[in-house]
Homo-oligomer: A and B are copies of this chain.
Amino acid sequence: MKRLTVVLAVVTALALAGVATRADEGMWMPQQIPQLAAKLRSMGFEGDPKAFADLTGQPMGAVVSLGGCTASFVSPDGLIVTNHHCVTGALQYNSTPERDLLADGYLAKTRGDELPNAPGARVLVTVRVTDVTDAITGNLDPKLTDRQRYDAIDRRLKERVAACEQGSGLRCSVPSFFEGLKYFEIAQLEIPDVRLVYAPAEGIGVFGGETDNWRWPRHTGDWSFYRAYVGKDGKPAPYSKDNVPYRPKQWLTVAAGGVKPGDLVFVVGYPGRTQRHQSYAEVKATTEWAMPRAIRNAEEQLAILEKLTKQDKGLALKVAGRIQGLNNGLTNTKGVLEGLVKGGSLERKLQAERELADWIAADAGRRKQYGDVLPAMQALHEASLKTRERNAALAGLSSASTYLNAAQTLYRLSLQRPKRDIERDQGFQERDWSRIRATQERLQRTIDPTVDRALLSWAMAKAASLPEDQRIDPIDALVGLRPGMDQAEASRAIDKYLDGLYAGTKLADQDVRLGLLEKSTAELKASNDPFIELAAALEPLNQSIREAAKDLAGAYARLRPRYMEAMLARAGGLVAPDANSTLRVTFGQVKGVRARDGLFYEPQTTLQGILEKHTGEGEFNAPKAQLDAIKALRAGAKTPYLVPELGDVPVNFLSTVDTTGGNSGSPTLNARGELVGLLFDGTYESVASDYLFEPVTTRSIHVDSRYMLWTMSEVDGAGHLVKEMGR
């Protein structure tokens, strides 16, 4: 408890003085919260911290996953609130050339108007979390080779999942925590009929666009509403007109007041991935190789896409999601790199690892227990560098081309299907087939030969320029490339090869693609589709890379849990595990931050800022109805959502809670567990915290529930939903 005790003492002292200067690290597992009771009480929490450990009680039972985003029930009739940017798929799916829901928003006046969702959409309600560490890693013969260890664990995981799902109607997973030191079995109810109820117009829900993304001050109305539907028997069922609203056991109450600076807030959600427990060498390689590469690649792809879509609005709509994703990742990666290198996080990481090594070296028992871990991890890491250029270029081909990616999925599925289910690779078991199909259906909205070819051509040029010892041999053979080849010559060879690929393929046809989903390898080969042929040619190399990855994972399964054990022993106990898309609780204060020398981010923004930023076009184009409502407010119109101290309705706020991607849509709760906002972003200065938490500058960005309610009541005519939420 060493590190946290120190933080706790500081926070307590400052909380009494009304000023806390640090953000609060920790995406806690719900069962850890009761151990933080003292800290919580010092921050003004009056409830029972044990409540957070009860996943089916208040408030935890109300919080659900959308897979990639978080959401929460806000009415007994299954009404769900999440971020606007979490419902983009549903908006696109229901849009037509005549009705652009992304631009105009949508409001179902009655339940009958609530719209079906895109294939694959679902709500996941966590119902049970069980520590199964012993079942997964207990009694493993220490004499196992690394690969045998991997296979044993992999088998146990699959058996565990199968047993959990068998006849329960639940969706189960067994993720690792603390780098394989712990495993928990998570059982979730999966509801596939999730309908679109309400999304504000783009000028509210995406106000600020890419320009404001990751930035403060912020004025984004990033909320939308779904409703979960189930069969008449109350059980999850695919979309059907006859389905009825799901009646959750728990739903959140919207707070009557809101938050003010200094208030304690909780965020409950499903943060995706953090890397705080990586070794220094791994983070260093990320900053020196992976991130600069990712930035370069994103910029190059964006340039290609912008050129292609400049004159073609239809194409622009198709690739809007890809462009948004690339931009989002680009800004995030730049921010992480800046924080790690310039902000000095990498230096601090090195320092911490040196201290860990010294701590191990200082004691004979510790030397015996952990002495080999850091050097062995270092050796594994170094070995992995030898093929990283090739492996990244190979993966780049599939991520550039939707055609190739689809072909590879079809081909690999055909190889896996003949096996017994327990022998199939994770992701290709029977339980995964419906999701694989949904993905193949969904990509119909974005697949485009012009864009695909441009990006695959770009990715192949990368493969062409690989060093001699890291070539992708099947590509060299098929395309006719060789190391050191003249760029123009390579370009001609790639062009010629791509001519054949795109002329011969039928994979852009949804019926053809879905039809191939259930075909055998021989039948796929007989289709003579050139993308299937390419996938088949690449499969042996991909397979060998996966085998090597399994060997490596087996070795890490031997080392990382002990590395983590040493870190935890040194830290003295209560540490939050890295985020892994499982349910977590984080808490902190509503609080501004001195973002840069001379510049202070105030903790709250208001409607005034919308007027300041509104330009009437592009990313800053507030709807006229909203501008009118703001003017009415200026002219003296009354609203319960106005905060006298601000002289305005609050729009967004900052807090010190510890969040990351996947937390989007998470409910923000006050000390009484009531909804006061939705988490939707972090500041640019915070993103490096995914690698090393920076307590001074890290801030999360929330939309204030009062802005949501004001807009629903005064702008969007969604008063019936406000009423359904009991306000």
By a beta-carbon cutoff of 8 Å, the part of chain A in contact with chain B is 216-219, 342, 592, 594, 596-602, 604-606, 608-609, 612, 652
Contact = CB atoms under 8 A, between A and B. Distances in A.
9 contacts: A216-B599, A596-B609, A597-B608, A598-B602, A598-B604, A598-B605, A599-B599, A599-B601, A600-B602
Contacts of A604: 598
Interface majority SS on A: helix, strand, loop or mixed? mixed
Contacts of A601: 598-600
A600 B597 contact: no
Q: Please list the 7 inter-chain residue pairs (A to B) with the smallest Cβ-Cβ separation, ordered nearest first.
A: A217-B598, A597-B609, A598-B605, A600-B600, A597-B608, A598-B602, A217-B599
A256 to B, nearest CB: 24
Q: How many copies does the complex hold?
A: 2
B609 A219 contact: no
A217 B612 CA distance: 20
Point out which of A597, A600, A652 has the most chain B C-beta atoms below 10 A from its C-beta.
A597
Contacts of A600: 592, 599-602
Contacts of A217: 596-599
A602 B597 CA distance: 8
A534 to B, nearest CB: 43
Point out which of A342, A596, A652 has the most chain B C-beta atoms below 10 A from its C-beta.
A596
Contact of A606 (B597, B602, B609, B612): B597
Contact of A597 (B598, B599, B612): B612
Contacts of A598: 216-218, 601-602, 604-606, 609, 652
Contacts of A216: 598-599
Point out which of A216, A598, A600, A604 has the most chain B C-beta atoms below 10 A from its C-beta.
A598
Contacts of A608: 597
A529 to B, nearest CB: 48
Nearest to A600: B600
Given A217-B596, A218-B598, A597-B612, 20 more contacts: A216-B598, A217-B597, A217-B598, A219-B597, A342-B612, A592-B600, A596-B609, A596-B612, A597-B605, A597-B608, A597-B609, A598-B602, A598-B604, A598-B605, A598-B606, A598-B609, A599-B600, A599-B601, A599-B602, A600-B601
Contacts of A652: 598
A612 B592 CA distance: 19
Contacts of A606: 597-598
A401 to B, nearest CB: 36
Nearest to A592: B600
A612 B652 CA distance: 27
A596 B594 CA distance: 15
A605 B608 CA distance: 27
A598 B606 CA distance: 8
A56 B598 CA distance: 38
Nearest to A646: B597
A706 to B, nearest CB: 15
A21 to B, nearest CB: 13
Nearest to A596: B612
Contacts of A602: 594, 598-600
Nearest to A610: B597
Nearest to A606: B597
A219 B592 CA distance: 23
Contacts of A599: 216-217, 599-602
A612 B612 CA distance: 28
Contacts of A592: 600
Contacts of A597: 217, 219, 605-606, 608-609, 612
A327 to B, nearest CB: 22
Nearest to A595: B599
A597 B648 CA distance: 11
A609 B598 CA distance: 8
A185 B270 CA distance: 76
Nearest to A608: B597
A703 to B, nearest CB: 13
Contacts of A219: 597
Nearest to A607: B597
Contacts of A612: 342, 596-597
Point out which of A217, A219, A599, A600 has the most chain B C-beta atoms below 10 A from its C-beta.
A599
Contacts of A218: 598
A599 B219 CA distance: 12
Nearest to A218: B598
A605 B598 CA distance: 5
Contacts of A605: 597-598
Nearest to A605: B598
Nearest to A602: B598
Contacts of A596: 217, 609, 612
A506 to B, nearest CB: 48
A612 B219 CA distance: 26
A342 B609 CA distance: 12
Contacts of A342: 612
A60 to B, nearest CB: 32
A215 to B, nearest CB: 10
A594 B606 CA distance: 13
A686 to B, nearest CB: 16
A112 to B, nearest CB: 40
A27 B601 CA distance: 32
Nearest to A594: B602
A600 B595 CA distance: 10
A141 B64 CA distance: 88
Nearest to A599: B217
A52 B592 CA distance: 42
A652 B597 CA distance: 11
